[in-house]
C-alpha cells in the first residue's frame, strides 16, 4: 500500500497537483476488504472545534478576572478595614463562675445567699445574715481571683470555715464558659455561651436562727457586764444529733472576711487577744470542773465500788497523811460541808469529798483509780473527735501518770492528782462539743451521736461508740442531775414549762485561782429527753456568782415565749 501511495504522490508532483491533501487519496474500506473497522484502521479522528477552545479560554479568563477583582477589593478598597479588624479584634474565653447554693435556717430564714454583682460577667457576691451569732457557725469564703490581665488564677469560691466549708460539696456549683469577641477598646462585639454554669444546691440547717441569735446575745451581754473573756453554747437533739444552736463569743463578721476590703477591721480581728476566729464550741479546750461528776458516778456504778444508797460524810475537807511530814497532812477541800450524801445527792449538791473518795479511794471506800477514770471518760467521747469537724475539733486531755511524767519532767503520779482529776481539775481539758455529745449519751442510754447542722440529718453514731452499761448506771446519774435542778447547784434551771436535768461546774484557773470557767450541762424534757445542752463561760473573775446557769435560764425563759415548740414535755 505504501508503494502505491508513493508512486501516486510522485505522479501528482510531476503533474503539478501540489495542493491535493493526502487524505483525499486514502483508500476506504470499500477498496480494501481486509480493512479492520474495529481497530479503527484507516480512519481519521475528527479534530476538536476551535470554537470549543474559544469558549474554554473565555471561561478561564473570566475566573481570573473575578479573582483579581475580589483580590483588589480585599487588598485595595477594604484592605485597611480588614487589617484593623484582624489586629484589634480578639476572641476571649470568659469564665462564668457558678453561684453557690444559699443557706437557710430550719424555719426558712436566709443565712447566706447570693447578690448580683454590679460588674457585668462577674461572679455573684456572697451575703450573710446581719444578726449576731452566726459567723463562726457559717464561716466565710474567698472570691475567685484574677491576675492583672483579667484572667482567673483561682476559678472557684474557696470556703474557709463553718458551714461554708462543711457543706461545700452541696453548695458549690459547676462553672460555665463564654466565648466573646472584643475590639481593641474592650467593646464586646459578639459573644456566645459555650457551657452554661450550674448553680450549687441550697442547704437547710438544723439551726433555729431565732434561738441562735438570742443565745449569742445573752452570752455577749453577760461577758461584757461581768468580765468573761468569751463563751460558747450548744443545744443538740439527743437522738438525731441535729444541732439546734451552736454559738461562740466573740466572733468576726463573715461578710467583712468574705469581701476582704476592710483591711483595718480584718487586722483588728487578728490582733484581738480574745481570738474571734476561735470557734469555742469546737476548738475551745477548758478545765471542766464538776460537770464530769455524773460520768464518774456512772463509772463507779459499773465498777461496783459503791451502791447508789451508800452515804459518804463531807465535813468540808478530806485529809491524807503526808509520809514525808506527818505534821502536815495533805488537805483536799470541799466547797462546802454537805454532811452525809448518797450518790444522787452528791451529784445534786456537787460534793467534792464524795467524788474524791469514789475517784481515788479513802479509808474503807475503794476508788476507781486514775486509769478507770480515764477509761470511762473516754468511753463517753472525751479526748476524741465527735466527727462533726475532723479538721478543727480539739481533742483535749485527761491526765494520767504518763501525761504527768511527760509534762512535769518525770514526776510521779500521786493520790492527790487522782482526787483533783475526779472533780474535773488538774490538767483535764475538754471541748464543749465533746461535753454535749457525752451529755446526750447519758440522756439517751449510751449512744454517742455525731452532731450535724443539716436539718435532714439522720441518727448516726460514731463507729464503736455504743456505751455499754446497766440501766441503773445511766438512771442514777440522771436522777442526780434532776435533783440538782430541784434542790441543788442547778436550781436556776427550775422552770415551770419543762422539766430539766442539769449539772453545774466551776473550774478554778490561774496560779492564784483568781479566774474560773463556769459550766452548766443538762437535757430536757427529763422524762423523755429530746435536747442536750452545754454552756461554758470562759475565764471570768472568781468572785462573780453569775455564769453559765444564768445564761441558760435566760435562754429557756425566752424560748418558753418565743419558741415553745422545743420545750414540750412529749
Least confident of 77-91, 491-505, 543-557: 77-91
Asked whether the beta carbons of 290 and 503 are under 8 A apart, the reply is yes
- Give the span between the Cα atoms of 435 and 439, in whole angstroms: 6
Find residue 158's DSSP bridge partners. Answer: 142
Convert the pLDDT of each residue in 131-140 to its tens digit.
Answer: 999 999 999 9
Dihedral pair phi/psi, residue 503, rounded to 5°: -150, 130
Where exactly does CATH 3.90.1310.10 map onto the chain?
91-204
The CA-atom distances, in angstroms, between 319 and each of 341, 350, 353, 415, 421 are 18, 19, 10, 12, 17
Cell (9 digits) for 528: 423523755
Beta bridge partners of 82: none
pLDDT band per the 50, 70, 90 thresholds, residue 13: low
Q: What is the pLDDT of residues 139-161, one digit of tens each?
A: 999 998 888 777 778 888 999 99
Most confident of 43-52, 61-70, 272-281, 464-473: 272-281
Number of other CB atoms surrounding residue 486 within 10 Å = 17
Based on the number of CB atoms within 10 Å of its own CB, is 525 exposed (0-12), middle (13-18) or buried (19 or more)? middle
Which residues sit opposite 205 in a β-bridge? 454
Model pLDDT for residues 187-231, shown as the tens digit of each residue: 666 667 778 889 999 999 999 999 999 999 999 999 999 999 999
Distances (CA, A) of 548 to 47, 102, 431, 499, 541: 119, 33, 15, 18, 13
Which ranges of 25-89 does DSSP label H, i.e. alpha helix?
50-72, 79-88
Q: Which three cell numbers stand for residue 3?
A: 508503494
Residue 526 per-residue DSSP state: S
- Evaluate the CA torsion angle 273, 274, 279, 283 in order and state its sign: positive
528 with 568: CB under 8 angstroms?
A: no
Grid cell 440522756 in the structure block, residue? 443
Classify the phi-psi angles of 97: left when phi > 0, otherwise alpha if psi is within -120 to 50, otherwise beta. Answer: beta
Res 51 pLDDT > 60: yes
User: What is the per-residue pLDDT across 492-543, written as a single tens digit (0 to 9) for each?
Assistant: 999 999 999 999 999 988 778 889 999 999 999 999 999 999 999 999 998 8
Rounded to whole angstroms, how far apart are CA atoms 454 and 243? 8
CA distance 164 to 453: 12
**Predicted local confidence at residue 93, as pLDDT:** 72
- Do residues 493 and 520 make contact, with C-beta atoms less than 8 angstroms apart? yes
**In the CATH hierarchy, which top-level class contains the domain 91-204?**
alpha beta
pLDDT of 6 higher than 60:
no
At 133, phi and psi to the nearest 5? 100, 5
For domain 209-567, the CATH architecture is 3-Layer(aba) Sandwich (3.40)
| Grid cell locating 146 | 484574677
Question: 308-359, pLDDT tens digit by residue?
Answer: 999 999 999 999 988 778 888 999 999 999 999 999 999 999 999 999 999 9
Q: Report pLDDT digits (tens) over 474-488.
A: 999 999 999 999 999
Return mean pLDDT, the chain.
87
* % of the chain residues with pLDDT over 70: 83
pLDDT reported for residue 74: 59
Check residue 180 and give its pLDDT.
74
Q: How confident is the model at residue 165 (pLDDT cuts 50, 70, 90)?
A: very high
Name residues whose C-beta falls within 8 Å of residue 462's C-beta, 6 or more positions apart in sequence.
Answer: 381, 384, 386, 387, 448, 450
DSSP single-letter state for residue 128: E
- Of 166, 480, 453, the closest CA to residue 308 belongs to 480
Specify the pLDDT at position 394: 94
- Kind plus residue range of the DSSP H or E element containing 235: strand 230-237
CA dihedral 37, 39, 44, 49 (to 10 degrees): 110
Per-residue confidence (pLDDT) for residue 272, from 0 to 100: 96
pLDDT digits (tens, 9 = 90+) for 429-479: 999 999 999 999 999 999 999 999 999 755 555 544 789 999 999 999 999
C-alpha cell at 30: 470499500
How many other CB atoms are there within 10 angstroms of residue 227's CB atom? 13
Supply the DSSP symbol for 397. B
Q: What is the mean pLDDT of residues 286-313?
A: 98
> In 3D, which of 450, 501, 553, 474 has the Cα closest to residue 237?
450
Give the pLDDT confidence of 360-372 residue by residue, as tens digits. Answer: 999 999 999 999 9
Q: What is the pLDDT of residue 308?
A: 98
pLDDT for the residue numbered 251: 98
β-strands 203-204, 103-104 pairing? parallel
Extract the C-alpha cell encoding 334: 470541799
Q: How many CA atoms lie within 13 A of 60 on its CB side?
A: 6
All 3 cell numbers of residue 310? 451508800
Tell me how far apart the alpha carbons of residues 55 and 72 are, in angstroms, rounded to a whole number. 26
Amino acid at each position: 500500500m505504501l508503494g502505491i501511495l508513493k508512486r501516486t504522490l510522485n505522479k501528482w508532483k510531476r503533474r503539478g497537483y501540489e495542493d491535493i491533501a493526502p487524505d483525499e487519496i486514502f483508500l476506504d474500506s470499500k477498496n480494501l476488504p481486509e480493512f479492520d473497522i474495529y481497530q479503527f484502521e484507516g480512519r481519521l479522528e475528527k479534530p476538536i472545534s476551535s470554537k470549543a477552545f474559544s469558549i474554554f479560554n473565555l471561561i478561564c479568563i473570566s475566573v481570573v478576572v473575578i479573582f483579581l477583582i475580589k483580590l483588589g477589593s480585599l487588598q485595595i478598597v477594604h484592605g485597611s478595614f480588614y487589617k484593623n479588624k484582624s489586629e484589634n479584634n480578639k476572641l476571649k474565653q470568659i469564665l462564668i463562675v457558678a453561684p453557690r447554693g444559699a443557706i437557710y435556717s430550719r424555719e426558712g430564714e436566709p443565712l447566706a445567699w447570693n447578690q448580683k454583682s454590679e460588674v457585668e460577667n462577674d461572679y455573684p457576691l456572697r451575703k450573710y445574715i446581719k444578726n449576731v451569732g452566726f459567723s463562726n457557725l457559717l464561716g466565710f469564703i474567698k472570691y475567685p481571683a484574677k491576675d492583672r490581665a483579667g484572667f482567673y488564677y483561682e476559678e472557684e469560691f474557696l470556703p474557709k470555715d463553718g458551714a461554708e466549708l462543711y457543706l461545700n460539696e452541696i453548695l458549690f456549683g459547676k462553672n460555665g464558659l463564654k466565648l466573646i469577641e472584643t475590639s481593641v477598646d474592650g467593646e464586646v462585639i459578639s459573644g456566645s455561651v459555650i457551657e452554661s454554669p450550674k448553680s450549687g444546691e441550697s442547704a437547710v440547717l438544723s439551726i433555729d436562727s431565732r434561738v441562735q441569735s438570742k443565745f449569742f446575745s445573752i452570752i455577749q451581754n453577760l461577758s461584757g457586764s461581768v468580765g468573761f473573756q468569751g463563751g460558747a453554747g450548744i443545744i443538740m437533739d439527743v437522738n438525731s444529733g441535729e444541732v439546734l444552736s451552736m454559738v461562740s463569743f466573740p466572733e468576726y463578721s463573715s461578710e467583712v472576711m468574705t469581701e476582704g476590703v476592710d483591711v483595718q477591721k480584718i487586722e483588728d480581728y487578728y490582733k484581738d487577744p480574745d481570738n474571734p476566729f476561735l470557734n469555742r464550741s469546737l476548738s475551745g479546750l477548758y478545765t471542766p470542773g464538776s460537770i464530769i461528776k455524773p460520768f464518774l458516778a456512772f463509772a463507779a456504778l459499773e465498777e461496783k465500788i459503791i451502791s447508789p444508797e451508800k452515804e459518804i460524810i463531807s465535813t468540808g475537807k478530806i485529809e491524807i497523811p503526808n509520809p514525808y511530814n506527818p505534821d502536815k497532812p495533805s488537805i483536799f477541800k470541799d466547797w462546802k460541808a454537805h454532811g452525809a450524801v448518797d450518790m444522787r445527792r452528791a451529784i445534786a449538791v456537787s460534793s467534792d469529798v464524795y467524788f474524791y473518795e469514789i475517784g481515788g479511794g479513802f479509808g474503807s471506800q475503794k476508788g476507781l483509780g486514775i486509769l478507770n477514770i480515764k477509761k470511762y471518760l473516754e468511753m463517753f467521747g472525751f479526748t476524741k473527735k465527735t466527727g462533726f469537724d475532723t479538721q478543727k475539733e480539739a481533742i483535749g486531755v485527761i491526765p494520767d501518770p504518763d501525761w504527768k511524767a511527760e509534762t512535769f519532767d518525770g514526776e510521779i503520779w500521786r493520790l492527790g492528782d487522782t482526787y483533783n482529776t475526779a472533780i474535773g481539775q488538774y490538767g483535764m481539758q475538754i471541748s464543749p462539743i465533746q461535753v454535749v455529745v457525752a451529755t446526750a449519751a447519758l440522756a439517751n442510754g449510751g449512744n454517742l451521736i455525731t452532731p450535724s447542722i443539716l436539718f435532714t440529718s439522720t441518727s448516726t453514731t460514731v463507729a464503736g461508740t455504743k456505751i455499754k452499761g446497766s440501766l441503773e448506771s445511766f438512771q442514777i446519774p440522771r436522777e442526780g442531775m434532776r435533783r440538782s435542778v430541784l434542790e441543788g447547784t442547778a436550781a436556776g434551771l427550775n422552770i415551770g414549762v419543762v422539766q430539766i436535768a442539769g449539772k453545774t461546774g466551776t473550774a478554778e484557773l490561774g496560779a492564784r485561782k483568781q479566774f474560773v470557767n463556769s459550766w452548766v450541762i443538762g437535757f430536757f424534757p427529763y422524762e423523755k429527753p429530746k435536747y442536750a445542752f452545754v454552756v461554758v463561760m470562759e475565764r471570768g473573775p472568781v468572785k462573780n456568782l453569775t455564769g453559765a446557769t444564768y445564761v441558760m435560764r435566760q435562754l429557756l425563759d425566752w424560748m418558753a415565749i418565743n419558741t415553745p415548740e422545743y420545750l414540750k414535755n412529749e
